[in-house]
Amino acid sequence: MSNHAARGQAFSAELSREIKDRFHHVDQDHLGNTRLYFENAGGSLRLKAALEAMARVDAVPDSAERIHAAAASLKQVQLAGIEDVRLLLNASGGTVHASLTASAAMFDMVRAVAEHVSGSNIVTTALEHPSAYDAAALYAQRLGKALRVAPSNPATGGIDVDEIVSLVDDETCLLVLIYASNISGAKLDLEQVVRQARQRKPGLYVLVDAVQHAPHEIIDVQKTPVDGINIAPYKFFGCRGSGFSWLSERAALLPHHRLAGKPETYWDLGSTAPWQYAVVTAIVDYVCWIGSHFGQTDDRRQRFVLGMEHIALHERALLERLLNGSRAVPGLRAMAGVEVLLDHDDLSQRDLILAINLRDLSPTQAVREYERRGVIVYERVVSSIYSERMLTSLGLQGAVRVSPLHCHTLDDVDRFLRVTQAIVAT
């Protein structure tokens, strides 16, 4: 593995300044207080262009389904956004579905497959977000199907391929997977899971929750041919109140809620909100802008790929600095009073998320100490419905989750490390 692949490559100082300038509230909160926002796994810092696109398009009163010029312009916004969802996922054919939240779409996709595809069991993992796990559990119970749950690997913080594939058999009607853990950042080897699972059950339906992973690395459903995959623009530098999914042709054709007059593969209900599509286009435009700094091509997908590749490399450099520090400040691995949880050396298999605990402080107490010093992180504790199952599977009672974003810099990481030193020294 090359040094860049292993340890990452940070953006130049100039490009980092330009990137920061394209986001709201990177160095200050909306009240004007200086802070580090290292809680992007719970949301994400907002791209200015995304909010501008939302305001500009949603200000138009017209319905995109009318025939006059203003309506036609909104329709073009919508069509462009649909193509940009496909571009983001490298998806062809099938259906793009816009929803209020990615969680709602996951429940709908699980229901369609579970109710209408034969088989006596559903397979999922212990690390799923509740929107995937609870949907699988609900329809397994309702339909009298067994729910098979692949255990996590406490050493890596992820799920081993064999643990998932071993649960698949001829009677599996659905496999539901998370692309990367929202506690440890460990990525699933989705390509191997899909290939091996379909060797055991040809034609197996596979649904993927990519909400956490999408902002960190390229997604390519040509390489990982799943039947449904969802993203949430608000975790991808965009706006809340929007979710997007892509469904394969056969998944889109499964019976689902729809108006009787709409095409069989149509999944949206009610009037479209063109701003949702405008926000996706703003996100793709931004990633392509980053890509243009690393190669010249007229192909929009290739510019997007270049942008995401270098976002991943920059974030890997941030992760390496967090863990190993520099001459100026020790990293978390070497810092007395800090325990790095679910740690493993191959940073290429991890998104930019860390789980840590601090000496003599509960995760909630630690989060408060960080806030007092102008740093926002988040506690994952077993009392939370969003954390209990995952933490228990990993043998943990709680953790402080640290999740910067690519618009942060090595200097930001050093500041975080110094704050951590100050907390554990008290």
Q: Which CATH class is domain 52-284?
A: alpha beta
CA distance 113 to 56: 37
CA distance 358 to 145: 42
pLDDT digits (tens, 9 = 90+) for 281-305: 999 999 999 999 999 999 999 999 9
Q: Which helix (H) or strand (E) holds 421?
A: helix 410-425
The full length of the chain comes to 426
Could you tell me the residue ranges of all domains in the chain? 3-46+312-425, 52-284
369 torsion bin: left (phi>0), alpha (psi -120 to 50), beta (else): alpha
Specify whether the CB–CB gap between 196 and 189 falls below 8 A. no
* Residues whose CB falls within 8 Å of the CB of residue 390, separated by 6 or more in sequence, listed in order: 126, 127, 128, 152, 181, 182, 183, 380
Residue 385: what pLDDT?
87
Residue stretches of the chain with pLDDT short of 70? 1-4
Residue 386: what pLDDT?
87
Helix H, strand E, coil C: the string for 324-338 is HECCCCECHHHCCCE
40 torsion bin: left (phi>0), alpha (psi -120 to 50), beta (else): alpha
Q: Which helix (H) or strand (E) holds 80?
A: helix 69-89
**What DSSP letter does each residue of 235-304 carry, written as one string?**
GTTS-SS-EEEEE-HHHHTS--S--TTS-TT----SS--HHHHHHHHHHHHHHHHHHTTS---S-HHHHH
Residue 4: what pLDDT?
64
Q: For the domain covering 3-46+312-425, report its CATH number.
A: 3.90.1150.10
Residue 3: what pLDDT?
61
Residue 331: what pLDDT?
98
- Which tokens is 248 given? 């394969």
Give the residue carrying structure tokens 């802070």: 35
Give the residue carrying structure tokens 């863990």: 323
